[in-house]
């Protein structure tokens, strides 16, 4: 009897703990919806949830600072309102994190009310699930433009499994409680005796089913958690709002402007930069309004004209006087693609040296979905997207898959020079597929090639 009672108490404590931890996760003060708006308006230039951008990853920052630094929300309020003042006051962590981010200045937000900051923090603690988007079914490079929108099956599996397990626990506890109660009455009445008996009979009969159910739940939960862990930081379909509604469909699609006119650095180096506002002004000094036939559903000429005006506001262009006023405000595009710091990816290697190899290989694999521009093999059909979204998952598996299957052109300028002597040797070493040499043969699977 006593042991029943003990277990019953333990069970209650366990459930209590479960409930209280989930309450501390989900029971934040503040309105995450409003927080999301404020966050997008003020913070996304430098912060994201789930990854580091210019500033630290702010997902769960309240809990992180509390557990790692022992700092409370009071500190966060001070930091967000005026981080400089906080640093000047000699605050230890404020100075530490500033050093850690190479003394990059965060803006001060003296205008945010305490309630606003609580809302933002609620958002960082408990963001709505639809963004960033996760697609657990995508494991291979397809390069299609239609990245499937948010697919939250994994998190639903986790949640459903947890709810089911919790339900089962509650049921067992209720049953135990009944048993304990029965045990407490000194003499079992005839009725209770049969109850106890029938309960053990039921247990005898059905415990295999119960155990089976538990096993299935455990497997589901493990599967869900595994998937969740594997896909942290994968942002296929990620599609943030930008400060100017710049449409690739209109520029690269309708107007057929070459990708590299704007992203000219892709050819020469590691990074393919977002064009500066001067590049926009090359055309928009004269293109001051939108007269295109194409209108995205829900948008009209007035909307596009307004967006073009933002270019003038940012560059300080006075369209009437046709001169610059000298007052500029930088446009802070939200970065969409962002590899972790420990990955080395070089555009030029792929856009120049690998160009033909990648296009040929992609078109062979996707005969119904051919591409003309190398960029689309990795970024999808950007020229059909009004808003850029990540077309692949950009994981290590994705890089490797392509390196394994893309036959390189040993005669292109780069490889001919570089692999003069190796070429013949490689041909002998790689007799598979009749001497086809894929990227892995030249070291495309070596850790050090992609990792610092
Ligand atoms: C101009 C870029 C920029 C903007 C805009 C910005 N931050 Fe920051 N933030 C940073 C940088 C950089 C750091 C790292 C510390 C440093 O260098 O000062 C940081 C640090 C932080 C930290 C400390 C996090 C930690 O992990 O220790 C918090 C909290 C924070 N920012 C919140 C916000 C909020 C909330 C907003 C919007 C209201 C915001 N930031 C807007 C750049 C920015
Ligand atoms: C007229 C200039 C222009 C042209 C042409 C253009 N882009 Fe862009 N591109 C931009 C601007 C501005 C942004 C940043 C805003 C955004 O994300 O939409 C951008 C963003 C991107 C991004 C996302 C960058 C990030 O933040 O990770 C990719 C990828 C990209 N462009 C690829 C292409 C490809 C591929 C083409 C050709 C099919 C192309 N672009 C043509 C101006 C241009
Ligand atoms: C090579 C010329 C060229 C460049 C460079 C260029 N644009 Fe455009 N842009 C156009 C043309 C042409 C139109 C459509 C005008 C029409 O159809 O009437 C347009 C339309 C627009 C529109 C309205 C449609 C939309 O996409 O929302 C915006 C906003 C815009 N451009 C922003 C930008 C920005 C920001 C940049 C710099 C990153 C830029 N453009 C660079 C030529 C250019
Ligand atoms: C082999 C795949 C591949 C090809 C081909 C490719 N990109 Fe990228 N692109 C990437 C990856 C990976 C990133 C993320 C890089 C990072 O975060 O360091 C990226 C990032 C970008 C960005 C964001 C800025 C940056 O460099 O991080 C732009 C803009 C871009 N690509 C444009 C282009 C254009 C334009 C082309 C064609 C001329 C192109 N890309 C071809 C894989 C590719
Ligand atoms: C669409 C196919 C494709 C994808 C995706 C791709 N690569 Fe490549 N990569 C190539 C090709 C083709 C070459 C060889 C180019 C050449 O030199 O001919 C190459 C070469 C390289 C090299 C040089 C290898 C060497 O030995 O010189 C590095 C490093 C590299 N890629 C890194 C990456 C990283 C990191 C990613 C993922 C973020 C990636 N690649 C994704 C096709 C791809
Ligand atoms: C072709 C390029 C490439 C090669 C070769 C490569 N990696 Fe990676 N690796 C990546 C990219 C890209 C990421 C980042 C993936 C992400 O952000 O989801 C990554 C991430 C990782 C991570 C972090 C965990 C994760 O999955 O995000 C580890 C650990 C790692 N790589 C180890 C290795 C080791 C060990 C090797 C050699 C056997 C290796 N890598 C070879 C491109 C490569």
Q: Is the dihedral of CA 251, 257, 262, 263 positive or negative?
A: positive
Q: Which of 130-139, 151-160, 211-220 tops mean pLDDT? A: 211-220
Ligand having the closest approach to the CA of 43: 1
Average model confidence (pLDDT) across the chain: 79
Q: Report pLDDT for 148.
A: 34
Q: Report how far residue 393's alpha carbon sits from residue 12's, in angstroms, rounded to the nearest whole number.
A: 43
Q: Is 12 in the pocket of ligand 6 (CB under 6 A)?
A: no
Nearest to 271 by CA among 342, 337, 355, 331: 337
Other C-beta atoms lying within 10 Å of the C-beta of residue 341: 8
Instruction: Kindly list the protein residues whose Cβ atom lies closer than 6 A to any atom of ligand 2.
Output: 242, 246, 248, 251-252, 257, 259, 261-263, 274-275, 333, 335-337, 373, 375, 379, 382-383, 388
Q: Report pLDDT for 197.
A: 67
Does the pLDDT value for residue 76 go beyond 60? Answer: yes
As a dihedral over the C-alpha atoms of residue 58, residue 62, residue 66, residue 70, rounded to 10 degrees, the angle is 80
Residues 385 and 145: beta-carbon distance below 8 Å: yes
233 alpha carbon – ligand 6 mean position (Å): 13
Looking at residues 296-318, what average pLDDT do you find?
A: 93
Q: Report how far residue 282's alpha carbon sits from residue 294's, in angstroms, rounded to the nearest whole number.
A: 22
Does the pLDDT value for residue 262 go beyond 50? Answer: yes
Q: Report how far residue 134's alpha carbon sits from residue 358's, in angstroms, rounded to the nearest whole number.
A: 26
| More confident site: 232 or 346 | 346
Q: Report pLDDT for 367.
A: 93
| More confident site: 27 or 401 | 401
Looking at residues 26-31, what average pLDDT do you find?
A: 61
Task: Look at phi and psi of residue 330 and say left if phi exceeds 0, alpha if psi is from -120 to 50, else beta.
Answer: beta
Does the pLDDT value for residue 281 go beyond 50? Answer: yes
Looking at residues 125-153, what average pLDDT do you find?
A: 45
Q: Which token pair is 156?
A: 């639903």
Burial 23-62 (b: 16+ CB within 10 A, else e): eeeeebebbbebbbebbeebbbbbbbbbbebebbbbbbbb
| More confident site: 82 or 442 | 82
Q: Report pLDDT for 201.
A: 75
The pLDDT confidence band at residue 294, using thresholds 50, 70 and 90, is very high
Q: Is 50 in the pocket of ligand 6 (CB under 6 A)?
A: no
Q: Report how far residue 445's alpha carbon sits from residue 443's, in angstroms, rounded to the nearest whole number.
A: 5
Q: What is the pLDDT of residues 410-446, one digit of tens each?
A: 777 667 766 666 666 666 666 655 667 788 877 788 8
Other C-beta atoms lying within 10 Å of the C-beta of residue 262: 21
Looking at residues 341-353, what average pLDDT do you find?
A: 88
Expressed in angstroms, the distance from the first to the final Cα of the chain is 62
Q: Report how far residue 32's alpha carbon sits from residue 166's, in angstroms, rounded to the nearest whole number.
A: 26
Looking at residues 254-266, what average pLDDT do you find?
A: 87
List all residues 6 or more positions away from 377 whose beta carbon is below 8 Å from its beta carbon: 141, 143, 358, 359, 362, 371
Ligand having the closest approach to the CA of 289: 3
Looking at residues 30-54, what average pLDDT do you find?
A: 81
Q: Report pLDDT for 190.
A: 61
The pLDDT confidence band at residue 246, using thresholds 50, 70 and 90, is very high
The pLDDT confidence band at residue 193, using thresholds 50, 70 and 90, is low
**Cα Rg of the chain, angstroms:** 29
Lowest-pLDDT range, 113-117, 162-166, 189-193, 208-212? 189-193
User: Residue written as tokens 């597929």?
Assistant: 433
Q: Is the dihedral of CA 33, 38, 43, 45 positive or negative?
A: positive
Q: Report pLDDT for 203.
A: 73
Q: Report pLDDT for 435.
A: 63
337 alpha carbon – ligand 6 mean position (Å): 16
Number of residues assigned to the chain: 452
| Protein residue with its CA nearest to atom 20 in ligand 4 | 337
Lowest-pLDDT range, 270-274, 281-285, 358-362? 270-274
The pLDDT confidence band at residue 233, using thresholds 50, 70 and 90, is low
Q: Report pLDDT for 139.
A: 32
Other C-beta atoms lying within 10 Å of the C-beta of residue 422: 15
Does the pLDDT value for residue 336 go beyond 60? Answer: yes
Cα 168–171–173 angle (5° rounding)? 110
Q: Report how far residue 77's alpha carbon sits from residue 71's, in angstroms, rounded to the nearest whole number.
A: 11
Q: Is 339 in the pocket of ligand 4 (CB under 6 A)?
A: yes
396 alpha carbon – ligand 6 mean position (Å): 5
Q: Which of 33-47, 373-387, 397-411 tops mean pLDDT? A: 373-387
Q: Which token pair is 54?
A: 């210019």
The pLDDT confidence band at residue 408, using thresholds 50, 70 and 90, is confident
Residues 429 and 443: beta-carbon distance below 8 Å: no
Does the pLDDT value for residue 222 go beyond 60? Answer: yes
Q: Report how far residue 446's alpha carbon sits from residue 256's, in angstroms, rounded to the nearest whole number.
A: 38
Q: Report pLDDT for 49.
A: 87
């Amino acid at each position: 009897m006593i042991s029943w009672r003990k277990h019953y108490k333990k069970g209650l404590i366990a459930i209590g703990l479960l409930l209280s931890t989930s309450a501390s996760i989900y029971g934040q003060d503040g309105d995450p919806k409003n927080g999301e708006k404020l966050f997008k308006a003020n913070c996304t230039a430098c912060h994201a949830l789930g990854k580091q951008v210019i500033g630290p990853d702010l997902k769960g920052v309240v809990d992180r600072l509390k557990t790692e630094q022992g700092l409370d929300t009071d500190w966060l309020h001070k930091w967000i309102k005026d981080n400089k003042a906080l640093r000047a006051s000699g605050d230890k962590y404020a100075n530490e994190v500033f050093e850690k981010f190479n003394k990059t200045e965060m803006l001060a937000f003296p205008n945010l009310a305490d309630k606003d900051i609580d809302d933002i923090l609620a958002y960082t603690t408990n963001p709505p699930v639809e963004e960033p988007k996760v697609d657990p079914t995508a494991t291979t490079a397809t390069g299609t433009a239609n990245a499937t929108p948010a697919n939250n099956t994994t998190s639903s599996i986790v949640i459903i499994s947890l709810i089911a397990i919790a339900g089962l626990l509650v049921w067992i506890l209720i049953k135990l409680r009944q048993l304990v109660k029965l045990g407490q009455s000194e003499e079992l009445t005839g009725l209770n005796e049969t109850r106890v008996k029938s309960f053990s009979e039921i247990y005898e009969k059905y415990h295999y089913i119960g155990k089976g159910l538990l096993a299935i739940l455990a497997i589901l939960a493990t599967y869900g958690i595994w998937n969740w862990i594997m896909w942290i930081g994968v942002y296929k379909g990620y599609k943030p709002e930008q400060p100017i509604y710049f449409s690739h469909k209109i520029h690269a699609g309708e107007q057929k402007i070459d990708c590299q006119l704007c992203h000219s650095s892709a050819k020469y180096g590691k990074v393919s930069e977002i064009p500066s506002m001067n590049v926009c002004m090359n055309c928009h000094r004269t293109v001051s309004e939108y007269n295109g036939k194409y209108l995205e559903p829900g948008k009209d000429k007035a909307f596009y004209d307004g967006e073009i005006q933002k270019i003038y506001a940012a560059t300080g262009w006075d369209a009437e006087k046709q001169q610059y006023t000298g007052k500029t405000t930088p446009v802070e595009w939200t970065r969409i693609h962002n590899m972790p710091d420990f990955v080395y990816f070089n555009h030029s290697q792929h856009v120049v040296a690998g160009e033909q190899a990648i296009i040929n290989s992609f078109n062979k694999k996707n005969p119904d979905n051919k591409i003309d521009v190398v960029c689309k093999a990795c970024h999808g059909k950007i020229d059909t997207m009004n808003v850029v979204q990540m077309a692949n998952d950009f994981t290590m598996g994705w890089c490797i898959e392509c390196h394994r299957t893309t036959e390189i052109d040993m005669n292109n300028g780069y490889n001919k020079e570089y692999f003069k002597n190796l070429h013949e040797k490689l041909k002998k070493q790689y007799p598979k597929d009749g001497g086809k040499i894929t990227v892995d043969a030249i070291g495309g699977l070596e850790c050090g090639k992609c990792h610092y």
